[in-house]
A and B are shown apart, each in its own frame.
Chain A
Amino acid sequence: MAVDMNMNILVVDDYKTMLRILRNLLRQLNFSNIEEASDGAAALKKLRDCSIDLIISDWNMEPMTGIELLREVRGDGKLKHIPFIMITAESKSENVIAAKEAGVSNYIVKPFNAETLKSKMASVLGDF
């Protein structure tokens, strides 16, 4: 099934720079419906208010971290089906294992490039 390029993507990061980088890279990949949140709590509110098709989230944020957001999403009957890509500088084995156990769909290590972003999205959504 073809990927819907009009899907709503929620990008979560506490660094404005990274939000802007991701927005621009996603736009260059032809995704234009991008929502932003600066921490897990704000993301959760947006997830409950809007219809989101993919979450791309940082790990290190306050007051709710990316892994806490992931657990909340997977524990919510209405949100648990949404693909969740963690994008973080936390690449220690225990972090990756914790994310996998919490139900992460894929994991991108910072610094990353556009090709990696595209391939990880494709592994979750299908080729585009």
Chain B
Amino acid sequence: MLPGKVDAALRQRLEELESKHGDTVRIADIAEVVESMMATLKGDVVGADLAIYAELESLARYIQTAKTEIARLRPDQVKEQYLPAAADQLDAIVEATAEATHTIMDATEIIEGVMENLDGENSQKLMDATTRIYEACGFQDITGQRITKVVNTLKDIEERIDALVAAFGSEIEKVKAEQPEAEEKEEKKDSDEKLVHGPQLPEDAKSQAEVDALLASFD
């Protein structure tokens, strides 16, 4: 129901907007709605209406600024680069710890084999030690489950950012067009940081033999 005091032109415009957008308006459309209402008000406002007009104009500017600020945070980059990279690193942790755990158990099983040739007391000491090793290897199962939970949380975040990217798509494109150099710098910075802060993923890594061959190629 529209307020009774609005004039005919504004009433008609509001009805058009209500018919177009229904009861809910997407964030991305609010500015359009406000601007549209302001266009109707122009030239026919006095006193209290003028204050509303100024408020609406200020609101439209605020929304536009917020949209631009959010677009500058580049949620598309978070979705396409940072979240998948984080998930890959976590998967690599699970794989590496599983591999190390199996190596530990390989060695422990060999110790158990040797144990059979020892006398009672020494055999029992080694048995107790190997039991403790097997118990401790359970860490991989626990960390694996915890990391899986984190990866699932990242997937939830990705879905929410997806919705954000859909809502701010045009603004993001504008920011990308305005700041192509910034993106390039960011990518280079990421690459340099990876060198400083930690190992690359296994598929990106060179083997010792490949590194040796590379070094030898300088001789």
Chain A residues at the B interface, C-beta cutoff of 8 Å = 13, 15-18, 20-21, 24-25, 28, 60, 89, 110-114
Distance in Å: Cβ of A67 to nearest Cβ of chain B? 16
Distance in Å: Cβ of B53 to nearest Cβ of chain A? 57
Known contacts A28-B127, A60-B145, A111-B142; A17 and B134 CB within 8 A of each other: no
For the complex, count residues of B whose C-beta is within 8 A of A.
19
B102 touches A20 (CB 8 A): yes
A28 touches B130 (CB 8 A): yes
- Nearest A-chain residue to B131, judged by Cβ: A114
B88 at the interface (CB under 8 A from A): no
B141 at the interface (CB under 8 A from A): yes
The B contact surface, by secondary structure, is helix
Complex CA–CA separation, A16 to B138 (angstroms)? 11
Known contacts A20-B105, A24-B105, A60-B145; A110 and B138 CB within 8 A of each other: yes
B135 at the interface (CB under 8 A from A): yes
B98 touches A112 (CB 8 A): no
A110 touches B142 (CB 8 A): yes
Known contacts A28-B127, A111-B138, A113-B135; A21 and B105 CB within 8 A of each other: yes
B82 at the interface (CB under 8 A from A): no
- Cβ contacts under 8 Å, B109 to chain A: 24
Known contacts A16-B98, A20-B102; A25 and B140 CB within 8 A of each other: no
Complex CA–CA separation, A24 to B144 (angstroms)? 20
Complex CA–CA separation, A51 to B130 (angstroms)? 30
Chain B residues at the A interface, C-beta cutoff of 8 Å = 98, 101-102, 105, 108-109, 127, 130-131, 134-135, 137-142, 144-145
Which 5 residue pairs across A and B have the least CB separation, nearest first?
A18-B141, A111-B138, A113-B135, A17-B140, A114-B131
Point out the residue from A18, A28, A60 that lies within 8 Å of B138, measured CB to CB: A18
- Nearest A-chain residue to B104, judged by Cβ: A17
Distance in Å: Cβ of B140 to nearest Cβ of chain A? 5
Point out the residue from A24, A25, A110 that lies within 8 Å of B141, measured CB to CB: A110
A114 touches B140 (CB 8 A): no
Distance in Å: Cβ of B123 to nearest Cβ of chain A? 12
Complex CA–CA separation, A112 to B105 (angstroms)? 17
Known contacts A16-B98, A17-B98; A25 and B134 CB within 8 A of each other: yes
A-B contact pairs, 6 of them (CB 8 A): A17-B141, A24-B105, A25-B135, A28-B127, A111-B135, A111-B142
